[in-house]
Amino acid sequence: MADTYDVIIIGSGPGGYVTAVRAAQLGLKTAIVEREHLGGICLNWGCIPTKALLRSAEVLHYAQHPQNYGLKIDGAVSADIGAVVNRSRQVSARLNGGVGFLMKKNKVDVVWGEAKLSKAPKGATPGEIVVCKTAKKPMEPQHPTPKGTLGEGTYKAKHIIVATGARPRVLPGIEPDGKLIWTYFEAMIPKEMPKSLIVMGSGAIGIEFASFYRTLGAEVTVVELLPQIMPVEDAEVSKFARKQLEKQGMRILTEAKVAKVEKGASSVTAHVELKDGKVEKITADRLISAVGVQGNVENLGLEAVGVKVERGTVQVDGYGRTNVEGIYAIGDVAGAPMLAHKAEHEGVICVEKIAGLPNVHALDKGKIPGCTYCTPQVASVGLTEEKAKAAGRDIRVGRFQFAANGKAIALGEDQGFIKTIFDKKTGELLGAHMVGAEVTELIQGFVVAMNLETTEEELMHTVFPHPTLSEMMKESVLDAYGRALNA
C-alpha cells in the first residue's frame, strides 16, 4: 500500500523545503523527497557557500589595505585556501542541518532517494511517485543522511510539486572534467589555489567566482559572448562594475567566444574568438564554465504523465500549475529567473493556492530582485533603462553617486551609484539599479516600494535614517525630479 499525503514535494532546495514548511503550516500532510542534500543547490553548492567564500575574500582585501583605515598590520596577510573552503563548508553544513530541523519541527516526512512520477492508470489523476535508490553520485563532501528519513517505496499524494532545480549547462566540446575544466561545484572547493583562471560566462555565478579568485590573487580572464558583463543588468551599472573589476586587475573580454579548449597536463588553453575576428590563445591553470544552468527535467516521468516541458523547463502558470491536474513545478525547474527567492515565493504561492487560501497573488516576475555579490556588489529590480525605453515608456531617470554620501565616505566605500527609473506620466517606479558596497541589502527597499506601487511622491515623503547608504536611494529619486539635495 502506498503511503498517502496531501502534498509530496520532489527536491528539498529553497523552493522545496520552504514549500514543505508552508504546506505543513496550512495543515497539509506533507512529504519531501531528496536524493542528495537537504537545502538543494542553494544551501550546499550555490548561494550560501559562495557568500562565505566571498566574505573571506572581502576580509582579506580589508586586511591587505589597513592603511585605508589608519591601521597597521605587521607581517603579510594571506589566504589559506583550505581553511577558506573549510569555513564555507561549515556554513553550508550548519544550514543543511537547519533544514533537517525544520522538517522535523513541522512534521514533514523526509524520503531519501530519487523520485519518479508513475504513469497514472487511464482516466485517473496522476498522484503516485516511486522513490528508488539515487542513481546520481552525490557531490562530496556529502552531509550525513538525516535520522528518521523514509526510504525507497511508492508514495501517493493528491498534489505533487516538482522542485528538482537545475544543473550546470554544458557546451559541447568544453565539457567539465572536474580537474581542469570546472563547474561551480569544483570551483567551490578548490584543493589548491589556481594561479590563473579563465571564467567562461559573466552572469552572477561567473562574476562571483571571478571576483573571489581575483581577490585571492589569481590572474583572471572573463570571456563573455554578449556586449556587456552581467547581461541582464542595466548597461550603465554593468559598465561601471566592469571598470571597477578591471581596476582590480581582472581581464574582461566581451563579444568574445571560447571556441575550443585544449587540455594540457596541468593547464588549459582556450581559443578565444575576439570581437575583431582574431583568435587569441589564453592559457590558464583552470577554466570555470559558467554558461548558465538547465532544469532537472529528465528521468522524472514527466513525459509519461503528459506534463509539458519546453527548452528544459516545466511550463507553469503564475501558481506553479502545470498542464496536468495535480502536478506542479516551482523554482529553477520551472524557469527563469533561476534564483532562490523566486523558488521560495513560487512554492509558497503554489501551496497556498492548493490549500484554497483566498487572494493568493500570482507570481509577478517583474518584481523579483537580482543580486550579484562581487566587489562592487550589483543589485536591481524591475526594468532597466534600455528595457523601459524598448517598452515605449516615457521615463525619468535619477542617479546618485556613493562619492556624495557621508556614510559611504566614512566606510571607505565611495565608489558606486544608485539609479532609479520612473514613468514620466504616472510617477510609477519602474526599476532600480545599484552598484557599490552593500547594495544587495539596500535593494529590498525599492522592491517593497514597487510591490506597493509606490510613486516618486511617496518615496520623497519617506524619511531615511542618517547617516546611511540608504539615503542615496532617496537622493536618486529626488534627482529624477531635479531635486537632489547633496549633489
Ligand X SMILES: Cc1cc2nc3c(=O)[nH]c(=O)nc-3n(C[C@H](O)[C@H](O)[C@H](O)COP(=O)(O)OP(=O)(O)OC[C@H]3O[C@@H](n4cnc5c(N)ncnc54)[C@H](O)[C@@H]3O)c2cc1C
Asked if residue 351 binds ligand X (CB under 6 A), the reply is no
- Among the residue ranges 73-81, 335-343, 390-398, 457-465, the one whose residues contact ligand X (CB under 6 A): 335-343
340 annotated as ligand-binding: yes
274 annotated as ligand-binding: no
- Among the residue ranges 42-50, 153-161, 220-228, 405-413, the one whose residues contact ligand X (CB under 6 A): 42-50
DSSP labels, 187-198: HHS-SS--SEEE
Q: Does residue 174 contact residue 124 with C-beta atoms inside 8 Å? A: no
DSSP labels, 4-43: EEEEEEE--SHHHHHHHHHHHHTT--EEEEESS-TTHHHH
Q: Which of 181, 189, 241, 343 binds ligand X (CB under 6 A)?
A: 343
Q: Which of 166, 307, 418, 432 binds ligand X (CB under 6 A)?
A: 166
Asked if residue 33 binds ligand X (CB under 6 A), the reply is yes
Q: Does residue 134 contact residue 36 with C-beta atoms inside 8 Å? A: yes
Please list the alpha-helical segments (H only) found in 221-301: 235-247
Q: Which is nearer to ligand X, 343 or 439 (CB)?
A: 343
Asked if residue 115 binds ligand X (CB under 6 A), the reply is yes
In the complex, minimum distance from the CB of residue 218 to ligand X, in angstroms, rounded to a whole number:
17
Asked if residue 126 binds ligand X (CB under 6 A), the reply is no
205 annotated as ligand-binding: yes
In the complex, minimum distance from the CB of residue 32 to ligand X, in angstroms, rounded to a whole number:
9
Q: Which is nearer to ligand X, 31 or 388 (CB)?
A: 31
φ and ψ at 10, to 5 degrees?
-100, 110
Q: Which of 331, 335, 376, 427 binds ligand X (CB under 6 A)?
A: 331
Which residue has 510591490 as its cell numbers?
451
Asked if residue 443 binds ligand X (CB under 6 A), the reply is no
Q: What whole-number distance in Å separates Cα of residue 469 and Cα of residue 438?
A: 8
* Angle, CA 296 vertex, CA 200 and CA 135 arms, to 5°: 110
Collapsing DSSP to helix, strand or coil, 459 comes out as helix
Asked if residue 201 binds ligand X (CB under 6 A), the reply is no
For 61, counting Cβ atoms within 10 Å of its Cβ (0-12 exposed, 13-18 middle, 19+ buried), the class is middle
Asked if residue 10 binds ligand X (CB under 6 A), the reply is yes
Q: Which of 21, 30, 34, 473 binds ligand X (CB under 6 A)?
A: 34
217 annotated as ligand-binding: no
The residues, any chain, with a CB within 8 Å of residue 12's CB and separated by 6 or more, are 20, 32, 33, 34, 37, 38, 39, 40, 99, 103, 110, 163
Dig out the grid coordinates for 133 from the structure. Answer: 535508490
Asked if residue 295 binds ligand X (CB under 6 A), the reply is no
Asked if residue 129 binds ligand X (CB under 6 A), the reply is no
Q: What whole-number distance in Å separates Cα of residue 470 and Cα of residue 442?
A: 6
Q: Which is nearer to ligand X, 110 or 484 (CB)?
A: 110
Torsion of CA 82, 86, 87, 90, to 10 degrees: 180
Total interface residues for ligand X by CB under 6 A: 36
In the complex, minimum distance from the CB of residue 131 to ligand X, in angstroms, rounded to a whole number:
7
Asked if residue 143 binds ligand X (CB under 6 A), the reply is no
Asked if residue 12 binds ligand X (CB under 6 A), the reply is yes
Q: What whole-number distance in Å separates Cα of residue 50 and Cα of residue 184?
A: 9
Q: Which of 6, 7, 9, 13 binds ligand X (CB under 6 A)?
A: 13
Closest alpha carbon to 183 in 209, 218, 150: 209
201 annotated as ligand-binding: yes
Asked if residue 109 binds ligand X (CB under 6 A), the reply is no
Asked if residue 379 binds ligand X (CB under 6 A), the reply is no
Q: Which of 15, 201, 320, 382 binds ligand X (CB under 6 A)?
A: 15
Q: Which of 37, 159, 321, 353 binds ligand X (CB under 6 A)?
A: 37
338 annotated as ligand-binding: yes
Closest alpha carbon to 116 in 152, 63, 70: 152
Which residue has 528538482 as its cell numbers?
164
Q: What share of the chain is helix, strand, coil (3-state, %, to 5)?
A: 35, 25, 40
Asked if residue 165 binds ligand X (CB under 6 A), the reply is yes
Q: Which of 128, 224, 273, 332 binds ligand X (CB under 6 A)?
A: 332
Q: Is the dihedral of CA 50, 55, 58, 63 positive or negative?
A: negative
Give me the half-sphere count of Cα atoms (radius 13 Å) on the Cβ side of residue 230.
Answer: 33
In the complex, minimum distance from the CB of residue 35 to ligand X, in angstroms, rounded to a whole number:
4
Q: Which of 57, 205, 288, 378 binds ligand X (CB under 6 A)?
A: 205
466 is catalytic: yes
Q: Which of 31, 41, 241, 245 binds ligand X (CB under 6 A)?
A: 41
Asked if residue 302 binds ligand X (CB under 6 A), the reply is no
Residues that bind ligand X (CB under 6 A): 10-16, 33-37, 40-42, 45-47, 50, 114-115, 163-166, 184, 205, 296, 300, 331-332, 338-341, 343
Annotated binding site for NAD(+): 201-208, 224, 292
Q: Write out the catalytic residue numbers.
A: 466
